[in-house]
A and B are shown apart, each in its own frame.
Chain A
Amino acid sequence: MSIFVDENTKVVYQGLTGSQGRYYGMLNRDYGTQVVAGTNPKKAGTDVEGVPIFASVADAVEATGANVSCVFIPAAGVRSAVLEAAEGGVELIVVITEGVPMHDEAFFFNKLETDYPGVRLLGPNCPGLISPGKANIGITAGHIAKEGGPVGIVSRSGTLTYQALYELKQKDIGCTTCVGIGGDPVPGTSFIDCLAAFEEDPETEAVMMIGEIGGSAEEEAAEFIAANVSKPVVAYIAGLTAPPGKKMGHAGAIVSGGKGTAQAKMDALAAAGVRIGQSPSEAGDIMDEVVAAL
């Protein structure tokens, strides 16, 4: 099994007619993802390499049965794109776009929570998610992931996620689902959401967690793990030596007022029984041991 998406998932791409949307949409289709529609109000009725374009997400859902939307709209249009997708009736909205203003994120996160409680948001500023062999939605290179299980991955960082997938594949370890939750201040899906889903998923037997400086999502995850997760968790946290007060690439990756340090996150996770790797590779080696002992 997998979490959130599988071989039955049907995806509509908001922004499929743009260069990024087309490029990754077609890569996702080549991987085997059911890429069923795109949207563009000015190009309804046309197609992108055989994928029909609709005026709105609602039209696409009605005509194709799409249940997930993947957003490649420029930052200025993301707020209305997310609301359109929720209104259009999809269950999951994956926002790849980076550079979305904080106030827009805070607005649509709360709007969805109140008015569309059944709709899950992933991102913004995330690489998407992949259930290897079943569906790849977003910008992850599908071939670096091995199908099957027993490991589930959840991560705030794109490249470190790819590295984790790749290293596990080198060790012949499969992945049920790999979720990139993104590096922004208001992520739609949290570590806790993914940990809860992995705990429920019978094929996921261990979880790899990749965090970074800023905020307190890792500390909250540690509390959740201690109380609710029976499966082994291995973690790596980036930014141990990052200077305070500086945004390290991601909008959410900042140590401010002594809060959000990597050390505090590692300590909290270790106290919850999570095994910590000091580097991405060490986390991979620990996961190898964990999987061998399952």
Chain B
Amino acid sequence: MSDVIAQATGLVKTYPPRDKRAAPFTAVDGIDFTLHRGEAFGFLGPNGAGKSSTMRMLACVSPPTAGTLRVLGLDPATDGRRIRARIGVVPQDDALDTELSVRENLLIYGRYFGLSTDVIDQRATGLLDFAQLSDKAAERVDALSGGMRRRLTIARSLINEPEMLLLDEPTTGLDPQARHVLWDRLFRLKQQGVTLVLTTHYMDEAEQLCDRLVVMDGGKIVAQGSPAELIAAHATREVLELRFGIGEQAAALDKLRQAVTGDRIEELPDRLLWYTAEGDAALAAAHTLGLAPVTALVRRSSLEDVFLALTGRTLVD
């Protein structure tokens, strides 16, 4: 199928032990996925779920331990160079040379791809415009803000006009405004036909950007689908969040679990989550039971709730 851009079957990544007594560490434990041209695909999961290891294998900077992987129809084990020439990578830590200027960073990176200085100059002008950094071209990178650096990293990753862009935690560490600017840029790229593959542990980011996603936990894929499908399958339309005074939560939980049938109720250290179709009705029912929460919040359920339902844990621990 020509519209498949990457495919993995039984993909495993095991790292050798740090010392002789330790056991080898399996970061990715037999996963299957298929990525299609032009889509935005997300790997979602907590730290240590195996997302970044999967991304490194896709980026052809880490050979799979077992399973098969094809990227752009090629085998990373033998065609790493050719694959890497056609993809773009946005690492989480930016990986810019902070002592060089914005433009020099693009120049260096373009040279790695064998581009001539003329081509790099020409593309750099367009990319800096895209990244809203045109007026910063001559500045040293260490003078840029976190959001600017991330946009420069994305601009740099586009210097070879990649068919697929891999983004590892693209908005981690950015303030909300910078994050929205970035989402907008990524959305434009997608409109231009670039396949986006990203990892995140933010549910709102996955909902904003991803057409399809897989939820990873402990090196395995525990669920997959569109954000809406996952919410429909593993959560409810609304969630009622109830916070109680110190020491009152356990008693309230007992009372609710005896009285409520059908709906799922999760306990977090600081609050109860009541998964229900109608949050307001649930709150009214709670008051009828004589419960007096300190605060009560009705919200739409999100991928965060999906993850909690699937693993019993919150996403950002």
Partners in one complex: no
**B residues neighboring A (CB under 8 Å):** none
